[in-house]
């Protein structure tokens, strides 16, 4: 019977990763046909600064929509990514398995595939541009009391500090995360504004309906 590897008591380490998708429209007449694929997209798990994460990540399982052939895609070496085409948005389940020396349980993440930008689609079409839609999320993997072997892998695999500014090489940054929060807040405000407008319209229609009912009741009473 194999002995349980010794863990380092009181030690906690973290590794930062980003996971998400990038989607580009397919420039083809076929994409206009009903049911045709409209976008190329890639889902990936990688280091914040594109550093190698394969020393401590053994494999990644990407669970796609059931309509795809072989929806469970297992990637066992870097880059941990899957490329596909499609026309619909759905939630991708990402399961990360760690190096066997870690004796750590897999981590499951969820990511919505986004094909369309936040902006109004009519405005985007009017601009004549084919928008590239990127949606990445930042995650810190925490390793509490790692095994000695895993501790060595984690400490020798380099830093994964989130950069402040976005560059061509490092697209994910504190700046990107802030922009994403601002876009989400703008969408939230727009939804609230439309909700208030709809509530006001419904209230107005209910009041109008009540007046008609009152008038109808008065007419019926007058006929008696």
C-alpha distances (whole Å) from 163 to each of 14, 58, 84, 118, 158 are 16, 26, 29, 24, 14
Q: What is the pLDDT of residues 118-133, one digit of tens each?
A: 765 555 555 556 688 9
pLDDT at 113: 96
176, 78 contact by CB (below 8 A): no
Given a cut of 90, whether residue 64 has pLDDT beyond it is yes
Say yes or no to pLDDT of 27 above 70: yes
- Of 17-31, 37-51, 183-197, which one has max mean pLDDT? 37-51
pLDDT at 180: 72
Tell me, what DSSP letter sits at residue 99? -
Give the residues across from 19 on adjacent strands. Answer: 45, 137
pLDDT above 50: residue 1: no
77-114 pLDDT per residue, tens: 999 999 999 999 999 999 999 999 999 999 999 999 99
- As a whole number, the mean pLDDT across the chain is 84
Span 42-54, average pLDDT? 91
CA distances to 96, 188, 210, 211 from 200, rounded to whole Å, are 47, 18, 15, 17
Nearest CA to 134 among 165, 160, 170, 164?
A: 170
Rounded-to-integer distance, Cα 136 and Cα 18, Å:
6
pLDDT of residue 46 exceeding 90: yes
Backbone angles phi, psi at 197, to 5 degrees: -65, -45
Q: Is the pLDDT of residue 11 over 70?
A: yes
pLDDT at 164 over 90: no
DSSP H or E run through 63: strand 57-63
pLDDT confidence of residue 120 = 58
Contact 25, 39 (CB under 8 A): yes
Contact of 82 with 43, CB cutoff 8 Å:
yes
């Amino acid at each position: 019977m194999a002995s349980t590897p010794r863990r380092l008591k009181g030690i906690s380490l973290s590794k930062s990763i980003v996971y998400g998708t990038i989607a580009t429209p397919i420039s083809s007449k076929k994409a206009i046909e009903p049911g045709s694929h409209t976008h190329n997209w890639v889902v990936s798990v990688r280091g914040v600064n594109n550093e190698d994460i394969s020393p401590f990540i053994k494999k990644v399982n990407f669970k796609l929509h059931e309509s795809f052939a072989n929806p469970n895609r297992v990637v066992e070496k870097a880059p941990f990514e899957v490329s596909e085409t499609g026309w619909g948005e759905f939630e991708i389940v990402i399961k990360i398995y760690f190096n066997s020396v870690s004796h750590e349980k897999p981590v499951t993440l969820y990511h919505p595939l986004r094909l369309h930008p936040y902006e109004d689609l009519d405005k985007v079409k009017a601009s004549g541009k084919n928008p590239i839609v990127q949606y990445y999320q930042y995650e810190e993997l925490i390793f509490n009391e790692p095994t000695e072997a895993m501790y060595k892998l984690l400490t020798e695999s380099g830093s994964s500090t989130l950069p402040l500014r976005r560059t061509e090489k490092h697209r994910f940054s504190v700046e990107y995360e802030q922009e994403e929060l601002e876009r989400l807040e703008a969408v939230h405000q727009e939804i609230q504004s439309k909700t208030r407008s709809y509530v006001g319209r419904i209230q107005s229609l209910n009041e109008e309906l009540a007046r008609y009912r009152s008038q109808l009741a008065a007419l019926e009473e007058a006929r008696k």
